[in-house]
Amino acid sequence: MLSVDPDLFGRLTAVRRVWAIGAIHGDCARLRQLHWELENRFAPGDRFVYLGNYLGWGDDIPGTLDELLLFRRRMLVPGMEPEDFVYLRGAQEEMWRKLLQLQFAPSPGEVFDWMMAQGVDATLKAYGGTAQEGRSLFREGALAITRWTNRLREAMQRHPGHDDLLSSIRRAAYTENGRVLFVHAGLDPHRPLSEQGDTLWWGSGYFTAIEQPYGEVTMIARGYDRTHKGLAMTQHTTTVDAGCGFGGRLAAACFDPQGKALDWIEV
């Protein structure tokens, strides 16, 4: 059984099936379509894991977070609990967290430019900021940057539920029997889950090399692949990324508690 901090990792209990939703990247319209499909296929015992990257690249990031919250509210029928919906931290959420702490970076200008090139500019605009404004503050020092990041945080908090949702995201999730593990992009099979660190967001190279069970885990599903090639399955891994936010579709895969793939949706 996986031994991890329950405040950092999600544990899915009383599972009949788990729906794993791939990277969304601010495409609210496709997320609404996918949620409609999921509602139509819902059965008692279903659980939901969102595999990260709700933010970045797309043009309706606030709407995407609103839709995540609305779907959970609609699906909290008898027998369902808030803990049956798990939201993982993706690379976009990790970069947004670091942007809001940019005043502590040793080279904020370099970090900022790198994050802008990785798609964070879309999230910045969604909460009322601009890259030009940010760059203009770097010469003024940490205090000016702090005032700016505080304004961004306050802008996000004006959207009900957004800050709470992003504060509750987990590093990874697993079924209570320990057979199925859900990650954002990568996993180093030579390290325990509690020591993965940034590998969960950036270690895609490790993921493609997995050829055997990860301890008791027989299936590892991830939601982001930089090649965005859609469904990719091996004996022990599944990639759920059809390119949403990059001109592709939004995908979800359904698993039983043993890791067997039961269903697949693309919208």
d(CA 15, CA 228): 28
CATH of domain 9-90+169-266: 3.60.21.10
In the structure, what pLDDT confidence band is assigned to residue 204 with cuts at 50, 70 and 90? confident
d(CA 55, CA 94): 10
| Token code pair at residue 234 | 């091996």
Q: Which amino acid is at 14?
A: A
Write the pLDDT tens digit of every residue in 178-187.
999 999 999 9
Write the pLDDT tens digit of every residue in 93-108.
999 999 999 999 999 9
Q: Which residues contact 267 (CB under 8 A, 6 or more apart)?
A: 30, 33, 34, 37, 249, 250
Q: Is pLDDT at 83 greater than 90 in this prediction?
A: yes
How many CA atoms within 13 Å lie on the side-chain side of 235? Answer: 6
d(CA 42, CA 253): 13
Q: What pTM, to 2 d.p., does this model score?
A: 0.95
d(CA 58, CA 95): 15
Q: Is pLDDT at 232 greater than 90 in this prediction?
A: no
Of 40-54, 63-77, 137-151, the least confident = 137-151
Domain boundaries, the chain: 9-90+169-266, 94-157
d(CA 185, CA 119): 16
